[in-house]
């Protein structure tokens, strides 16, 4: 998948927001979180909107585009 969400998980950690809290408050589903962690599947723009609202940020603060074949897990 050409999008990587390492920025999202770093931002959540920085702000002290757990993925449990996000799921408990029904902000996004467990399936969406799993997809983001594993870099699989498509993420709905409504999911990104909810995260941006929660974190007071822009989509580029949550994810980055990675050209196919250039994926590196060293962020």
> For 44-55, what is each residue's pLDDT tens digit?
999 999 999 999
pLDDT at 39: 84
pLDDT single digits (tens) 5-56: 999 999 999 999 998 999 888 889 899 999 999 988 789 999 999 999 999 9
**Confidence band, pLDDT 50/70/90 cuts, at residue 71:** low
With left for phi above 0 and alpha for psi between -120 and 50, is residue 4 left, alpha or beta?
beta
Is residue 75 pLDDT above 60, yes or no? no
The predicted structure's pLDDT at residue 42: 86
- Which stretches of 1-75 are assigned E, i.e. beta strand? 3-4, 64-65
Long-range contacts of 47-50 (CB under 8 A, 24+ apart): none
56 SS3 class:
coil
- Name residue, tokens 């959540």: 12
């Amino acid at each position: 998948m050409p999008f990587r969400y390492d920025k999202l998980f770093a931002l959540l950690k920085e702000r002290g927001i757990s993925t449990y809290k996000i799921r408990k408050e029904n902000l996004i589903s467990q399936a969406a979180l799993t997809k983001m962690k594993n870099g699989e599947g498509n993420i709905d723009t409504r999911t990104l909107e909810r995260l941006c609202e929660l974190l007071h940020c822009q989509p580029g603060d949550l994810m980055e585009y990675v050209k196919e074949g250039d994926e590196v897990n060293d962020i």
